[in-house]
Amino acid sequence: MTFKTYQNVHQIVKETVDNYTDQPAFRWTNQSGDYESVTWGHFYDQVKQVTKSLISLGVQKGEKVDILSYTCYKWVLSDVGTTTAGAITVGIYQSLLPKDCEYIINHSDAVVLFIEDETQLKKILSIRDKLTKVKKVVMFTGDLEGDDWVISFDEFLTLGKDIPDKEVEDRATNITPQDEAAIVYTSGTTGVPKGVVLTHDNLLFTAQSALDCADTKPTDQMFLFLPLAHVFARMIVYGALNQGLSTTFATSMDTIVDEIKKSQPDWFPSVPRIFEKVYSKVVSGAEAAGGLKLKIFNWACAVGNEVSDCKLNKKPIPFFTNIKYGLATKLVFTKLHAALGGNLRWAVSGAAPLNADIAKFFHAAGILVLEGIGMTENTSFTNVNRIDNYRFGWVGQPGPGIEQKIAEDGEVMFRGRNVMKEYYKMPAETAETIDEDGWLHTGDLGEIDDEGFLRISGRKKDLIITAGGKNIAPSPIEGTIATSKYINQVCVIGDRRKFLSALITLDQDNITEYAQENNITFSNFEELIKNEKINALIQQAVDEKNKNFASYETIKKFTIVEEFTIENDLITPTLKVKKNVVQKVYQEAIDAMY
CB 114 within 8 A of CB 69: yes
The CATH 3.40.50.12780 domain(s) of the chain lie at 272-342+344-459
Q: What is the pTM of this model?
A: 0.85
Q: Where in the chain is the domain with CATH 3.40.50.980?
A: 9-200+225-239
Determine contact, residues 85/129, Cβ cutoff 8 Å.
no
Q: What is the DSSP string of 242-284?
A: HHT-EEEE-S-GGGHHHHHHHH--SEEEE-HHHHHHHHHHHHH
Residue 350 near residue 226, CB atoms below 8 Å: no
What secondary structure does DSSP assign to 291-315, as a single string? HHHHHHHHHHHHHHHHHHHHHHTT-
Q: By the 8 A CB rule, do 348 and 370 touch?
A: yes
236-264 pLDDT tens trace: 999 999 889 999 999 988 888 889 989 99
**Between the CA of residue 211 and those of 208, 276, 332, 453, what are the distances in Å?**
5, 25, 32, 18
CA 161, CA 303: separation in Å to the nearest integer?
A: 63
CA distances from 509 to 206, 354, 523, 525 (A): 39, 22, 15, 10
Q: Where in the chain is the domain with CATH 3.30.300.30?
A: 464-593
CA 500, chain centre distance (Å): 29
SS3 519: coil
Q: What residue type is 146 in one-letter code? A: G
CA separation for the pair 499, 558 (Å, rounded): 11
* Residues 404 and 382: beta-carbon distance below 8 Å: yes
How many of the other CB atoms lie within 10 Å of CB of 73? 20
Q: What tens-digit pLDDT sequence spans the chain (594 residues)?
A: 567 778 999 999 999 999 999 999 999 998 888 999 999 999 999 999 999 999 999 999 999 999 999 999 999 999 999 999 999 999 999 988 898 899 999 999 999 999 999 999 999 999 999 999 999 999 999 877 667 899 999 999 999 999 999 999 999 999 999 999 999 998 665 567 899 999 999 999 999 999 899 999 888 999 999 999 989 999 999 999 988 999 999 998 888 888 998 999 999 999 887 888 888 888 888 888 889 999 999 999 999 999 999 999 999 999 999 999 999 999 999 988 988 999 999 999 987 788 888 899 999 999 999 999 999 999 999 999 999 999 998 999 999 999 999 999 889 999 999 999 999 999 999 999 999 999 999 988 899 999 999 998 877 777 788 887 877 888 889 988 988 889 999 999 988 888 999 999 999 888 998 998 899 988 888 889 889 999 999 999 999 999 988 888 999 999 999 998 878 888 877 777 888 888 889 999 999 999
What is the CATH class of 9-200+225-239?
A: alpha beta
Fold (topology level) of 464-593: GMP Synthetase; Chain A, domain 3 (3.30.300)
> What SS3 state is found at 122?
helix
How does pLDDT run across 488-512, given as a tens digit for each residue? 999 999 888 889 999 999 998 889 9
Q: Are 399 and 210 contacting, i.e. CB atoms less than 8 angstroms apart? A: yes
**Element of type H or E holding 139:** strand 136-139
Dist. CA 294–CA 277, nearest whole Å: 19
Cβ-Cβ contacts under 8 Å for 40 (sequence gap 6 or more): 16, 17, 20, 21, 22, 23, 25, 244
DSSP one-letter string for 384-433? E-BTTB--TTS--EEPTT-EEEE-TTSEEEEESTTS-SEETT-HHHHHHH
3-state secondary structure of 227: coil
Listed in sequence order, the residues at least 6 apart from 226 whose beta carbon sits closer than 8 Å to its beta carbon are 71, 232, 233, 236, 269, 270, 271, 351
CATH superfamily placement of domain 272-342+344-459? ANL, N-terminal domain (3.40.50.12780)
